[in-house]
Chain A
Amino acid sequence: MDTIISIAGNDFAIIAMNTSVINSIVFVKEDLDKFMEIGKNKFLAVSGYPGDVAQFTDFIQKTLLLHSLRTGLPLSTHSVANCIRKEISECLRKNPFKISILLIGFDKGVGSSLYSVDNLGALQRMEYCVQGYAAFFLFSFLDRRYKPKMKIEDILDIIIQSKTILKNRFIINQINFLIKIVDSKGCRNIGII
């Protein structure tokens, strides 16, 4: 089960996702970048059943690209989140389908935003979020440590400590976390922890 941790600052948002791919008891790959860039200023992280993840991510990315080609206009993070929510709801009501997503983005008037859609299709804008089994371990930690308008260094510190907590208490060893940031300059990598 993939772990996604994300915290939104004032005018930036940071997201961290594990880079390992696991199939039953085997590490298939240890260093996979599972993020999808949408537009110039949005990151989409998807976790769930591997086939559904791959199909849904590609489909959403190409659909949004088609939209931008047709209209020549970029979509806001809010619109993209709602579009994704609608697609997930429709897929859920057709076949067995399990994915959950975290979307972070930066828009000019709004600042940074973080949207979470869980595997039942519930959309929520949040300030910090954890998805996966790690949520059981980390939400309480983040509740205590999060303050509004944090700096990048504090947020990265929280994420490093989150990884330590998981290493201590979570039986699945998710080897590395890839951290990315979205701000007014666009999408960037921060690093791997």
Chain B
Amino acid sequence: HNVLPMKRALFPWVLLFLGSELGGPAGSSYLWRHQSSSLLREAFVSRRQAEPADKFGLVESTPCEDNLELYKATNRELSDCSWLARRGIPNKGATRLRGGSSQYGTYNTPITFFSNNGHIAQIEYALEAVKKGLTVVAIKGEHVICIGVERRAVAKLQDPTTVRKLHQVDAHIVAATAGVAADARVLIDQARVESLTYRLQYEDCPSVEYVARYVGDVMLQYTMTRGTRPFGTSVVMAGFDQLSKTRLRPEVKPYPVPRLFLVDPSGCMVEWKAVSIGRSAKTINEYLERNYPASRQLVEGKDVQTEERILCELVMASMMEVMKVRHTSVEIATLTAARGVRLLLDEEVDLMAEGIDGGLAEGNATRTDEDSDWHPARAD
């Protein structure tokens, strides 16, 4: 032991030199046995700094066995090592995944990671996909909900009746979607099954909020599961509920109350008085913010048919901000508790549109017919 003080000055350098030279288990274990732990840590740290920064993502690990021995020797926390390393199998030239790993490779990694400033990129991109979809405007009154959807200009050989944006989810619930059409189809189907399951179990119709919340839950699952992407659609659920008295809602109406919910790709469900999604949604939402309160005043005390007409006109006027409103470009539906869904006829749409704009149902036609070539994968 009187040997130690003389060799001490050499140790840091000797370690590096010997580590690379000897390279085998015997050499490193010899070094380990005869060194203090602080020196070893020092050496280990300096060696580690030579590796590239591997904070985010994949790292090419060096096929070096004494690296592995050092890991084992210091009893280092092995969460950063690959599955192979933990079992003592050299990982030659393979990539090492950060933050957990799996023998199935990269398919199991969720793509919906948070970024360092709190955003989930995939969900925001999904919202962008929704903004590419065709416009949907939904407005609720006292006894009526009115929904307007923009119609796609279909390719010449296509049958326009199969391109649907308005879906009947249940006898008293209607949904309109904007975004990727295939995703919408799946969500609406799930909503239908859930609504009827509720009916089967409780012999009573589900509230619109229940169905909207369920759709939100489905959408959320797909943002948190491995190997899946978020849905690329927003869903507007409209329907009527007979609300009951609660502590927070002490005054209830004796008739079914219209309710309007928006569910977006993050799974977030919010109730709205009037909402628009799809392209030009921002413009239309601003228009509605300015004009919706006035429509509520107009509608007070009027009968259901007048209310229907007023709300349809408001929907059309808001759509006129961004496009031409004609029966070929727009589909309007009204929802009442008594009669259910009613689609406006082509002539009605044209007449009302002319009436609003004094014969020139042009509005601010900012949109061109750029989408006449339709592709299945495109947003709808």
A residues with a Cβ closer than 8 A to B are 58-59, 62-63, 65-66, 69-70, 72
Contact = CB atoms under 8 A, between A and B. Distances in A.
B192 interface: yes
A70 B200 contact: no
- Across the A-B interface, the 10 shortest Cβ-Cβ residue pairs: A62-B200, A66-B196, A62-B196, A69-B192, A58-B200, A62-B199, A69-B168, A65-B196, A66-B192, A70-B192
21 contacts: A58-B200, A58-B203, A59-B200, A62-B196, A62-B197, A62-B199, A62-B200, A63-B196, A65-B196, A65-B199, A66-B192, A66-B193, A66-B196, A69-B168, A69-B169, A69-B170, A69-B192, A69-B196, A70-B189, A70-B192, A72-B168
Interface of B: 168-170, 189, 192-193, 196-197, 199-200, 203
Nearest to B197: A62
Q: Is the interface of A mostly helix, strand, loop or mixed?
A: helix
Contacts of A59: 200
Nearest to A63: B196
Contacts of A65: 196, 199
A58 B170 CA distance: 16
Contacts of A72: 168
A63 B196 CA distance: 8
Nearest to B170: A69
A13 B196 CA distance: 29
B338 to A, nearest CB: 18
B142 to A, nearest CB: 27
A134 to B, nearest CB: 30
Given A62-B197, A62-B200, A70-B192, 8 more contacts: A58-B200, A62-B199, A66-B193, A66-B196, A69-B169, A69-B170, A70-B189, A72-B168
Q: Which of A58, A63, A69, A70 has the most CB of B within 10 A?
A: A69
Contacts of B169: 69
A42 to B, nearest CB: 17
Nearest to A69: B192
A72 B188 CA distance: 13
Contacts of B189: 70
